[in-house]
Structure formats: C-alpha cells, structure tokens
Structure 1
Amino acid sequence: MAAKEQETCGETADQFAMKLHGHVMSSYITIGIAFGDRLGLFELMATFDGSKTAGEIATAAKLKGRYVQEWLGLMVIADIIDADDKGTAFFLPLHRRKNLTAEGGVGNIGIPAAGIPTFMKGFEYVINAAKEAGPNGFPQGATADVFWPWMDSFTEALMPSAALFSSIVPLIPDFKMNMESGASFLSIGCGSGIDSVNFGEAFPNSTIIGVDHGALGIQKALCRKQGSDKNLTNVNFEIHDATKLPSDWSIGLIMPHPCIVSMIWGALIWKPGGYYLMIEFTAATNVNGNKGRILMEFLYGVSLLHCIPTALSQREDGVGLGACCGQETMRKMLKDAGFESVEVKPVEGFDYLVGILGKK
C-alpha cells in the first residue's frame, strides 16, 4: 500500500523534505513581514525616493536601530527589500510597495501576515482545548486585545466600505428600496460595527441591529456609532448568542459576517418573505476542492487557531464548522432551516467571496 501511494503521488522523500523546509523557513519571513507591517516600516520605506541606512530608517520610524538592522537583514535575504553592494543602504522597490502597504487593499500581504502573531496569542489555549480532557475551546475575550485591531484592518481590506454598497447590496432583491423606505436589518457577528454603522448612515429610515457575543467588539461598535457625524438613533448594538435572539424580534434582512460557520446553527427570527445573506469565502466542503485555491492556507489556519475554539467555547453542543466548511454545507444549513429558496451568487469584484442567499 505504501509503495503504491509513493507511485501515485510521484513525490520522493527528499522532495517532501525540501517542501517542508520551504514551508517552515517561509514562516519566519512571514513573522518579519508582520513585524514590518505592525511598526509601519513598509509604509515608511514606500515614501523614500532613494536608499536609506538602517540608522536613517530607524530614526524616521522612531525605533531602535539594532532591531531595524536585523529586520532589514531578514527582508533582504527574503528578496523583499533590496540592499546596495555594501549591504549598508536599503530600498523598497516600487513594484513591491503595493503588496506591502495599505495601497494594496486586500492585496496587502501584511494583513494576513500580522494574523500569525495575533492568533499565536491563543496557541496554548488551542493546544489545551484539542486534548481529550481539555476545555472545549477558549473565549474570544482571551485574545480580544490583539484580535479586534487585526480584525478591523482585515475587514476593511477584505471588503472596503464602498464595496459594501456596490457588491453586497445588489445581491438582495430590492434591498436599497426596502431599506430606504424602512426595514429591519440584523448584522450577526457585527464585531466593531463597521457595516452596521455604514448601513445606518445610508438608510436612516431603517432599524439596524448589530449583535455579537463578544463584549469588546460591542464596545468598539458603540464607540464607532458615537464617532459618526450623524445621529444614529436607528442603530443599536447588543451582546447576544445568535441562537437565542429575543422572541419579539421580527427581522426582514439578516446578514452574518464571515462568522456564521464558526457558530452553532440555531433558530433565528425572520419575517415571512425575509432574506438571509451569508457572505463567505469560496471554500469547498471536500478538502480536496480547496487545494491550490487562493487564501485557503490562511483560512484553515485562522479556523484552527480562532474560529473553531472560540465557537466551541460558547456551548457544549456547538458544531464548530470552521471557516472552510464549504458552500455545500452552508446551502444545506439554510435549506434545513426551512428557507423556501437558496441561491449562490458571485460577489462582483471579489473572486474569493460568495453570497449565499436564503429566502423565507
């Protein structure tokens, strides 16, 4: 059997060893990218017209020179930053800047790179949770101080506020018309409330409710609401288990953030004829369908280190579907929940996202 598998995969032990070596060594480069992203070094170097010494870069960044020197060494051997022949002056080439700065949006690799140290804060929690005698998971609050700042930057890069209206709103029939005349909209897993506040500002006649199980996320959402230049009396944020929403709520439009897969599935409150829109990544339920697809390594890693353990910590009967449970699983979930119709729609301009629309 082993020999047959060797022939089938067409890979030698030496080739596999080299592949593993590449994976592990690249992880150290990723940490270096996260370092540069967090401290604004890429953004700073993108403003330089010419090469600068480590000392000049450190002074401009208000950082200690020895740390910047070592970071530059890592970035040079990774072919991310260039050095002069003497190895004393450094430059970030123009063609690389977009992928390392905010200019690149979701293409800014610094954002997923920064996720590595962010999620590693909960690493020991995950190790303990995975053990048979360990806890089910860990509460989101255990890593909230590092998670939410990272999540905000990831959310804005993943789906800029402008795209919310150009790419998401068209997925729901008559969404704009209904929201302008006055509808009820529920954002599940609202986090710091970016989308809820945007909708509240755009549709003052509608009632916008954002719910999340994390207190810190709701606190940030309330601060975002207060910081709006509009009087958002139509926007409310509350801490809730999405499977136990108030029985007197009657919601016409529901949109969970890419989080419903990490929660357990339960009864939510819809008006007859209401819509439930899931914006999720284009993952397949069969893991083989995800090989070679964009963002999959990132999604499986985030799911293992955050989505599953924080979901399973909420309830003992949680299923912990994970970020890569796939479109097929999500469609079945909506059908099993009693939706009259379930459609899968592409999200214009975002090949890595898919809209799954259920109608009651």
Structure 2
Amino acid sequence: MSRRIEYEDSAKAYFQDRLLEPAVAALMSPLIVLGDRLGLYRLLAAEEAMSLEELASASATHPRFLSEWLAAGCAAGHLTYIPETGRYRLEDHPALGLALDDSPIFIPGAHQIVVALSRSIDRLEHAFRTGHAVGWHEQDPLLFEGLDRFIRPGYGNNLVPKWIPALGPRMMQCLTAGGRIADIGCGRGAAALQMAAAFPAARVTGFDNHPESIADANAAAEAAGIGNATFIMAEAAELHDGPFDLVTCLDCFHDMGDPVAVARAVRDALSDNGSWLLVEPAAGDRLDQNVGIAAQMFYAVSTAVCVQAAAATHPDGPVLGAQAGLSRLVPIFAEAGFSHVETIARTPFKMILEVRP
C-alpha cells in the first residue's frame, strides 16, 4: 500500500521554519558576498551612518542597484535605516560579522562557500548518479577562498593562543627554541603562517595536493615577509623532510581518501617527543547525536565537498565525512601505531585532539 501524505495546517510552521527561512537566508548569500567584494560593509563600518549618495560615491557603485542592496540588508536585519535622516547604519554586531576580518565571528567566507556550492550542483548531480565523485580540484575556485576566510578567524583566536599551549610546556619550549612543524592539508596557508609568525625560530612546512592553494600560500608568505614557512605540493601520505616536532591536520583529516596511510605517514614523520594535533568538526558517534545548526552545516559541506574529496581519491576507502566522531577516528589512529588520543580542547563547532604513539 502506497503511503498517503495530506496537507494539514500544522505543516505551515514546518514550512516556515525548516524550509522557507533557510531558502531566504541562502538568497542573501550572494548579496553578502557582493557587499564584501565591493567593500560596502567596511565603508559602512567606518562611519556612524551613510546616505545612499555617500555610499555610492565612496564605493563607485551604481546608486539604483545599491539602493536595492541596502533595502535587502535592512529587511534581513543586517543594516538599519534611519528614516529621519534617510541614512543607513551598520550596527556593531553586524559589523563584527561582516566588516572586520580579524573578528572571531567574521562570516563572509561562509557565504562564499554557499555561492561556490551552488555553482557545483550539476557536478554533484552527476556524482550522485554515476558514483564518480567530484575531486577537490574540480570544485569552484571560490570555495577555496571561502574556506580560507571562514576558518582563518577561528585559528587566529585559538590555534596559537590556546590549542598549541594545551600540548604542554615542553612543546612550547621546543617550538620557541626552533622546532619543526608540518601542516598537512594546509590549503592557502592561513594556519601555517600564523604558526610561523608566532614561532619565528621554528620551521613550518605546509603540504597540500592542490597546486593553486600552494601557490597562494607561498605568495602570502612572501607578501607577509614570513621567511620560516615553506609550502610544498604533495599528497598527505607523502611527508617530506621530517622528523617533525608537531604535525597538524586542521579541519582536513576527514577529507583524506586513505586516512590510515596518512596516519602512518604522520607516525613515521614525528620526532621522538612529537605530537599530532588534529582539529575535527565536533561530532557524536551516532547520527541522532549530530543535530542542530552545527551538524546541519557540517553534513551539508560534507555531502558536497568532504565525502566527494575522499571518494575521488579512494572510492573504496572509509570516506569518513565531516561528522566522523571519535568512534571512527580512534581505531584509525590505533591501526597506524598511535596509543594516546586526548581531547585537549573543544569549541561549539570543533574538537581538538592530541595524538601520540
């Protein structure tokens, strides 16, 4: 007997909260990316309030198009319209999220990710129908910029100030005196450059298999005048120039097609007293434990990016995904020869692990 589903008035609340509101929020993502690219949020954040004419002049943008963008921002609650003066204001909280790129809640990168994934829908449909996954290099280039900008504030406020010190005084002494760090899956180098700047006597080597990201990372190091960081194109399981006192995998281990091989490579590359620092999305061990806004975000990105990246390189591998949880990660570490796994820190979105032999 076929299932029969009938409309009831009680469905209205579900439609409003779970279906319509996310769609409306997604429609704002291109406008947020546009405001970021055009510098509109930074201009508004620098002034108490601005008129349409002032903002159009300062940003060299078309006034009629800009007026509609401003209206959308007001409707979304990002901007405030002052009817007595006809001016627009970016309040402090929205400014922290939209204009100040060193803020811990700076968010335009996340909206770049949304726009990038919308461009990949045809490739994803093909992957679902054929089983031929979308490789990392096949994703829209905006994704890489968005990921870099989205994770950068979190690392800036946590990696060097909190997470590395949580590894203990011996690690801090080692890196301060001139230890060696390997950052696997370094992307465009945001975290590696933060570590290199914080520990100028240490040598930092970033590894990634995406050539464009490696080029961007080396360019960023040169632009910042950071001479103790080098970025090399290599697979995660092909670490060069060890041993390393600290190996980091920051929001990337779950993307690896052969995580056991990567873990073994890390084990072989560690110095005698070295540690492996992993940052992974916060996750429980069961699907019913992974609910809410964080899990929704991670599962969405995992479906479109993380699972695709892993399956593209090793279709028959474990394909961890971004909500793997410790019950799936710990056995991989053990198989690679690690016996110590400790959660040294947590945030609402991340779990930070120290792994040692």
TM bucket normalised to smaller: 0.7 to 0.9
Contact 2:29/2:115, CA 8 A, preserved across alignment: no
Deviation at 1:123, TM superposition (A): 2.5
| 1:216 matched residue in structure 2 | 212
Deviation at 1:84, TM superposition (A): 4.2
Q: Distance in 2 between matches of 1:253 and 1:91?
A: 46
Contact 1:171/1:355, CA 8 A, preserved across alignment: no
Contact 1:35/1:114, CA 8 A, preserved across alignment: no
| 1:258 matched residue in structure 2 | 251
The residue type paired with residue 147 of structure 1 is L
Structure with more of its chain in helix, by fraction: 2
The residue type paired with residue 63 of structure 1 is T
The residue type paired with residue 169 of structure 1 is I
Within the candidate set 217, 221, 230, 1:236 is matched to: 230
The residue type paired with residue 308 of structure 1 is V
| 1:167 matched residue in structure 2 | 162
Cα RMSD between the aligned structures?
3.1
| 1:314 matched residue in structure 2 | 313
State the SS of the aligned residue for 2:104.
helix
1:195-214 matched pairs, under 5 angstroms: 195-214=191-210
Contact 1:190/1:211, CA 8 A, preserved across alignment: yes
Structure 1 position 185 matched with structure 2 position 172: no
| 1:353 matched residue in structure 2 | 350
Identity in percent: 21
Structure 1 position 143 matched with structure 2 position 140: yes
| 2:342 matched residue in structure 1 | 343
Deviation at 1:190, TM superposition (A): 0.9
Q: Distance in 1 between matches of 2:292 and 2:71?
A: 31
Q: Distance in 2 between matches of 1:157 and 1:199?
A: 14
The superposition leaves residues 65-89 of structure 1 with CA deviations (integer Å, 9 ceiling, x where unpaired) of 2221221221222232233449954
1:118-157 matched pairs, under 5 angstroms: 118-131=116-129, 133-140=130-137, 142-144=139-141, 146-157=142-153
Within the candidate set 101, 107, 110, 2:108 is matched to: 110
Deviation at 1:98, TM superposition (A): 2.4
Q: Distance in 2 between matches of 1:341 and 1:357?
A: 8
The residue type paired with residue 251 of structure 1 is F
The superposition leaves residues 19-64 of structure 1 with CA deviations (integer Å, 9 ceiling, x where unpaired) of 32222222223333333233222221122223412x3322211112
Inter-CA distance 96–307: structure 2 relative to 1 (3 Å threshold): same
| 1:56 matched residue in structure 2 | 54
Q: Distance in 1 between matches of 2:226 and 2:27?
A: 45
The residue type paired with residue 150 of structure 1 is G
| 2:283 matched residue in structure 1 | 283
Q: Distance in 2 between matches of 1:311 and 1:175?
A: 31
Contact 2:110/2:146, CA 8 A, preserved across alignment: no
Contact 1:185/1:253, CA 8 A, preserved across alignment: yes
Inter-CA distance 31–230: structure 2 relative to 1 (3 Å threshold): closer
State the SS of the aligned residue for 1:319.
coil
Deviation at 1:217, TM superposition (A): 1.1
State the SS of the aligned residue for 2:279.
strand
Structure 1 position 40 matched with structure 2 position 44: no
Deviation at 1:256, TM superposition (A): 0.8
The residue type paired with residue 140 of structure 2 is T
| 1:70 matched residue in structure 2 | 68
The residue type paired with residue 155 of structure 1 is I
Inter-CA distance 87–220: structure 2 relative to 1 (3 Å threshold): same
Deviation at 1:282, TM superposition (A): 1.7
Q: Distance in 2 between matches of 1:66 and 1:219?
A: 39
Deviation at 1:214, TM superposition (A): 0.3
Contact 2:109/2:148, CA 8 A, preserved across alignment: no
State the SS of the aligned residue for 2:292.
coil
Gaps in structure 1 of 5+ consecutive residues: none
Q: Distance in 2 between matches of 1:291 and 1:327?
A: 16
Q: Distance in 2 between matches of 1:318 and 1:181?
A: 40
Contact 2:108/2:150, CA 8 A, preserved across alignment: no
Q: Distance in 2 between matches of 1:354 and 1:245?
A: 24
Deviation at 1:176, TM superposition (A): 1.6
Contact 1:141/1:216, CA 8 A, preserved across alignment: no
Deviation at 1:130, TM superposition (A): 1.5
TM-score (norm 1): 0.84
Gaps in structure 2 of 5+ consecutive residues: none
The residue type paired with residue 126 of structure 1 is L
